Amino acid sequence: MSANKRLAIRLDATSEIGLGHAVRTSALLEALAELFALDVFIIGDSQEYLKKYFPGTEVIGLNGQDLARILNSLNPDAVLSDLPHHTPELWKTLKHPGRPLIAIDDEGGDVRADLVINGSVPASSHHYPTLLDGGHALTGPAYTLLRNAFSQHRWKAENKRSVCVVIGSGSRAQEWAFNILEYQFDKSRWGEITLVVGSAFADVERLSTLCQAQVIALHQGVGAGDLAKHLASARVALVTGGMVSCEALAVGVPSLVFPQVTNLIPEVAWLAERGAVIDLGHECGMDFNIIDRHISEVLRSSDLARSLSIKGLAIIDGHGAKRAAEVISRLI
């Protein structure tokens, strides 16, 4: 029996940069585990979050240590990086002759790897002029890295009025959550409301108090299966951009999306132009009269709801991690 392949992963997950990098990397590892045995080593700061998303995996705190020394001691068969920012020096440290370097990215540009996985939708972010010789990029929504649960649960198109609100990480997303709860309008016409926030959400005690007062079901840090079920059983989803919106599309739930940070604006606009989501806008997403009007429209119109669902599923089917894993298995 051949020895397990060793994969070292440079990854950070913090409340500041968000948990999306950890989520999509965990989705890829889930798909790789179905193909061959791996020994995985996560290298990064904020071990608390990394251990949550990679239970049973060795997590090595970077904390100013020499990354090159850590990699040499691990002697991996391949290295994977999923970071929000890169430098030429980082690529030199990560790359070693005969050791494939894989990068998960969503912006394009100066990425010096053997293989890039970029599941973002705008083609403008798919340009990689500095790939290593023989390297290539897997780009577009066919390679959006989602966990299996989001392709296994499908929107039920139930007639009951219900809204699932899913808030990603980051300060503006959290501000949005509190504004939704504190804005004075009659939410009862939305029907049953479920609010899901991530494990890094700050001041959840205040959030819980507001939800109890408005009879809103609050869930924090749920697993992929439970989140997929919440989305699948709602009449409409109200979500932040990024990973959450992709997960909603893969489930097929009609979705209103708030691009809470500027780099999400092109992606959400691209999806809206194709009728896959309703784009609330970077600024207008804070206007809760607009949110209420759009939610009411989807709740009233089964034709609109069905159209959003069909067009969203046609773009993101939830099998991107499986496709990427098959390419990686050949590379390693």
Determine contact, residues 251/150, Cβ cutoff 8 Å: yes
Q: Percent of the chain beyond pLDDT 70?
A: 98
The C-alpha atoms of residue 271 and residue 149 are separated, in whole angstroms, by 22
Sheet with 217-220, edge to edge strand ranges? 217-220, 192-197, 162-167, 236-240, 255-258, 278-279
Query: What residue spans in the chain does CATH classification 3.40.50.11190 cover?
Result: 5-146+318-331
**Burial of 97 from C-beta contacts in 10 A (0-12 / 13-18 / 19+):** exposed
Q: Is the pLDDT of residue 14 over 80?
A: no
Q: Percent of the chain beyond pLDDT 90?
A: 77
Q: Is the pLDDT of residue 47 over 70?
A: yes
Query: What pLDDT shows up at residue 15?
Result: 66
Averaged pLDDT for residues 74-81: 97
What's the start-to-end Cα distance of the chain, in Å?
Answer: 17
The C-alpha atoms of residue 107 and residue 225 are separated, in whole angstroms, by 28
Residue range 148-174, pLDDT digits in tens = 999 999 998 777 899 999 998 788 999
The per-residue pLDDT of the chain, averaged, comes to 93
Determine contact, residues 308/276, Cβ cutoff 8 Å: yes
Query: What pLDDT shows up at residue 165?
Result: 97
The C-alpha atoms of residue 27 and residue 146 are separated, in whole angstroms, by 5
Please state whether 112 falls in left (phi above 0), alpha (psi between -120 and 50) or beta: beta
Determine contact, residues 103/111, Cβ cutoff 8 Å: yes
Residue 55: count of CB within 10 angstroms of its CB? 8
Determine contact, residues 319/266, Cβ cutoff 8 Å: no
Determine contact, residues 150/141, Cβ cutoff 8 Å: no
Q: E-strand spans in 155-268?
A: 162-167, 192-197, 217-220, 236-240, 255-258
Which tokens hold the place of 72?
């040499």
Which of 106, 110, 112 has its CA nearest to residue 131?
A: 112
The C-alpha atoms of residue 217 and residue 198 are separated, in whole angstroms, by 14
Residue range 80-121, pLDDT digits in tens = 999 988 899 999 999 998 899 999 999 899 999 999 999 999
**Burial of 123 from C-beta contacts in 10 A (0-12 / 13-18 / 19+):** exposed
- 3-state SS assignment for residue 177: helix
Residue range 215-253, pLDDT digits in tens = 999 999 899 999 999 999 999 999 999 999 999 999 999
Determine contact, residues 260/254, Cβ cutoff 8 Å: no
Confidence class for position 2, pLDDT limits 50, 70, 90: low
Which of 175, 178, 180, 209 has its CA nearest to residue 295?
A: 180
Query: What pLDDT shows up at residue 37?
Result: 93
**Amino acid found at 39:** D
Confidence class for position 199, pLDDT limits 50, 70, 90: confident
Confidence class for position 63, pLDDT limits 50, 70, 90: confident
Which of 131, 237, 156 has its CA nearest to residue 194?
A: 237
Pick the CATH number of 5-146+318-331 from 3.10.450.100, 2.60.40.350, 3.40.50.150, 3.40.50.11190: 3.40.50.11190
Which helix or strand (DSSP H or E) is residue 59 part of?
Answer: strand 58-61
What value, to the nearest 5°, has the Cα angle with vertex 109 and ends 105 and 112? Answer: 75
Whole-model pTM? Answer: 0.91
Averaged pLDDT for residues 169-188: 87
Confidence class for position 1, pLDDT limits 50, 70, 90: very low
Q: Is the pLDDT of residue 29 over 80?
A: yes
Question: Which CATH architecture fits 149-315?
Answer: 3-Layer(aba) Sandwich (3.40)
Q: Is the pLDDT of residue 274 over 60?
A: yes
Which tokens hold the place of 166?
């899913």
Query: What residue spans in the chain does CATH classification 3.40.50.2000 cover?
Result: 149-315
Dmax over CA atoms of the chain, in Å, equals 64
Please tell me which residue, 200 or 36, carries the higher pLDDT value. 36
